[in-house]
Amino acid sequence: IHFNSSLHICGACIKTYLLEKSRVVKQLPGERSYHIFYQLVRGASPTMRAALGLPTHPRSFAFLAASGCTDIEGVDDAAEFQAVCEALGDVGIDSQLQASLFQLLAGVLWLGNLQFEADPTDLGNDATLLVEDTASQAVCGLLGVSHASLSAALTQRRIVTPSEVVTK
Flag whether pLDDT at 16 surpasses 80.
no
Q: How far is CA 77 from CA 41, 115, 125, 131, 155, in A?
A: 8, 28, 45, 32, 35
Contacts of 59 by beta carbon, 8 Å cutoff, 6+ apart: 65, 70
Is 152 buried (19+), middle (13-18) or exposed (0-12) by CB count in 10 A? middle
The kind and range of the H/E element at 78 are: helix 77-90
Flag whether pLDDT at 89 surpasses 80.
yes
- DSSP 8-state symbol, 35: H
Flag whether pLDDT at 86 surpasses 90.
yes
Report pLDDT for 17: 66
- DSSP 8-state symbol, 103: H
Report pLDDT for 161: 83
The kind and range of the H/E element at 159 are: strand 158-160
Report pLDDT for 160: 83
Quick: pLDDT tens for 96-149.
999 999 999 999 999 999 999 988 877 767 778 899 999 999 999 999 999 999
Over residues 32-48, mean pLDDT: 96
Q: How far apart are CA 168 and CA 165, in angstroms?
A: 10
Report pLDDT for 166: 78
Quick: pLDDT tens for 106-120.
999 999 999 999 888
Domains of the chain: 1-94 (1.10.10.820), 114-168 (no CATH)
pLDDT category of residue 24 using cuts at 50, 70 and 90: confident
Please give the mean pLDDT across all residues of the chain.
90
Quick: pLDDT tens for 60-84.
999 999 888 999 999 999 999 999 9
Contacts of 103 by beta carbon, 8 Å cutoff, 6+ apart: 51, 52, 142
